[in-house]
Amino acid sequence: MMQILQTLRNALGLKDPTKTATIMRSVALFVNFFLIITALYQIKPASRSLVLEVINAEQLPYVWIASALVLLTIIGFYHRILRRFQRIQIVLGTAVLFMTMLLIFRLLFRDAGFLTAVAFYIFVDILSVVMVEQFWSLANSIYNTKDGKNWYGLVGTGGLLGGGVGSAAAAVLIKYTPLQTPDLLLVAAGIIGLICILTVLMGYFKIYEEHQLVQTSMLRRHGRGRWELFAGNKYLFLIAAALLMAQLISPMVEFQFMKIVASTYPEREVRTATLSLFFTVLSGFSIFVNLILTPIILRVFGILAGLMAQPVVLALSAYGFGLNPGFLAAAVMKISDRGLSYSLTRATKELLYIPVDTIVMYQAKAWIDMLGYRSFKLIGAFFILVLTQWTAIVPNVIPLTWVIILGCAIWMGILIVLNRSYQSKYLQSKGVFTTIDGAQERT
């Protein structure tokens, strides 16, 4: 390890061994996240295409409900595992399990039916949540706050690049090689195998040395119920309301998009290649916004513009889709939602937590990211079924597109109130710090 660090220092002209180690750690995490998202975007378009072989798009909300329920069940089990095993053991064990499951699913797809396709769709959702959340949990544990601010941009870009490379590779493999949609599972399994090798190397070179930001005893001492955390803090409540409103609208956008995909591309391999190309464009858009537009918008126009961009652009694109409901309009609407969510909105969201006490921030983010998002996706799926199938509201009274626009208007209203609260909080944090118990202390 020391010889490698010395060689790297000499090559880069660095004199500080600590800085060299941080660079090496960041590069390793960049590659790790790149591989995770590359593997995911091999199987994400495949899972969407395969499930549309056995169900119609109107049945997708039922699959989303099942996926959300399974995820909510697994989260509790996963947290118990985190308390019992070391992180490197969990990362390796998870990667090996997912790689094995991909091989099993590939065998099952030789004679696949309804259950296999739906189970695989849910499995891909689980893989995306667990591996991504696991990665960021690892990054948070081995970076201190200063290094995190300096290097998270680079590490996050690895994921955006992985999305573009993974989906583009899937499109090329389907279009220009004998491989078919189920064969993408084998490609993803091979990439996860590379993640296993990288994880072992990271452990061997002690890149997994953890920096404990928040002591477990402190979290226990200051712990409070999930609902109490938000009920007693207007600012956190507004953050949660804004983020979860986005999650409530997103399934409606996905539903519209998948209906158009199913009707426009009935043939499986063409559908898989098209979805892969779409995800390539989405990733490219996210990279462009993340690297070029996000710094400009936040620096010139401020945090409110960064927050408002997604609902404003989404509402406009939804209106355009209502006027001309074709694949191109649906793709623009979907990119407006997910492309901005993965880039500008994500970066701006992190700024909202700056005026918040560190321990409260960790508790709030854990609830919103791991439970709140999944719960509201579940509610969103139920909402679609109520509007489109269980009642005659949408078919006979108002198109789902107008429901999306109305949701964006409510979302924007929440953001305006949130921005006022943020400005007040930010000014307070410069001289007065709000503690967990609500008292104020001078910093």
What value does the mean pLDDT take over residues 321-328? 93
Q: Which two tokens stand for residue 210?
A: 């953890």
The confidence score (pLDDT) of residue 203 equals 78
What value does the mean pLDDT take over residues 396-412? 87
What residue ranges do the domains of the chain occupy?
1-213, 216-435
How many C-beta atoms lie closer than 10 Å to residue 333's C-beta?
A: 28
Q: What is the distance between the alpha carbons of residues 333 and 282, in angstroms, rounded to a whole number?
A: 11
What value does the mean pLDDT take over residues 374-378? 84
Q: What is the distance between the alpha carbons of residues 1 and 88, in angstroms, rounded to a whole number?
A: 18
What's the Cα-to-Cα distance from 70 to each of 50, 292, 369, rounded to whole Å?
20, 38, 16
* Superfamily of segment(s) 216-435: MFS general substrate transporter like domains (1.20.1250.20)
Q: What is the distance between the alpha carbons of residues 151 and 23, in angstroms, rounded to a whole number?
A: 9
How many C-beta atoms lie closer than 10 Å to residue 38's C-beta?
A: 27
Residue 130: which residues within 8 A CB-CB, separation 6 or more? Answer: 74, 78, 94
pLDDT of 377 higher than 80: yes
- Given a contact cutoff of 8 angstroms between Cβ atoms, the answer to whether 10 and 135 are in contact is no
The confidence score (pLDDT) of residue 6 equals 53
Q: What is the DSSP string of 363-408?
A: HHHHIIIIIIHHHHHHHHHHHHHIIIIISSHHHHT--HHHHHHHHH
What's the Cα-to-Cα distance from 363 to each of 72, 213, 436, rounded to whole Å?
17, 13, 11
Q: Which two tokens stand for residue 414?
A: 């929440």
The confidence score (pLDDT) of residue 113 equals 86
* pTM assigned to the model: 0.83
Exposure of 57 in the CB half-sphere (CA atoms within 13 A)? 18
How many C-beta atoms lie closer than 10 Å to residue 431's C-beta?
A: 9
Percent of the chain with pLDDT over 90: 51
Dihedrals phi, psi of 203, to nearest 5 degrees: -70, -40
The confidence score (pLDDT) of residue 304 equals 93
pLDDT of 149 higher than 70: no
Q: Is 216-435 in the same CATH topology as 1-213?
A: yes
pLDDT band for 5, please (50, 70, 90 cuts).
very low
The confidence score (pLDDT) of residue 176 equals 95
The confidence score (pLDDT) of residue 47 equals 97
pLDDT of 433 higher than 50: no
- Given a contact cutoff of 8 angstroms between Cβ atoms, the answer to whether 17 and 9 are in contact is yes
pLDDT band for 274, please (50, 70, 90 cuts).
very high
Burial class (CB in 10 A: 0-12, 13-18, 19+), 440: exposed
The confidence score (pLDDT) of residue 197 equals 93
pLDDT band for 436, please (50, 70, 90 cuts).
very low
Q: What is the distance between the alpha carbons of residues 364 and 366, in angstroms, rounded to a whole number?
A: 5
Q: What is the pLDDT of residues 186-208, one digit of tens each?
A: 999 999 999 999 988 887 777 66
Q: What is the distance between the alpha carbons of residues 294 and 42, in angstroms, rounded to a whole number?
A: 27
Instruction: Tell me which amino acid residue 339 is.
Output: G
pLDDT band for 213, please (50, 70, 90 cuts).
very low
The confidence score (pLDDT) of residue 254 equals 96
How many C-beta atoms lie closer than 10 Å to residue 307's C-beta?
A: 25
Q: What is the pLDDT of residues 49-63, one digit of tens each?
A: 999 999 999 999 999
Q: What is the pLDDT of residues 391-403, one digit of tens each?
A: 766 665 568 899 9
The listed CATH number (1.20.1250, 1.10.10, 1.10.3470, 3.40.1710) that belongs to domain 1-213: 1.20.1250
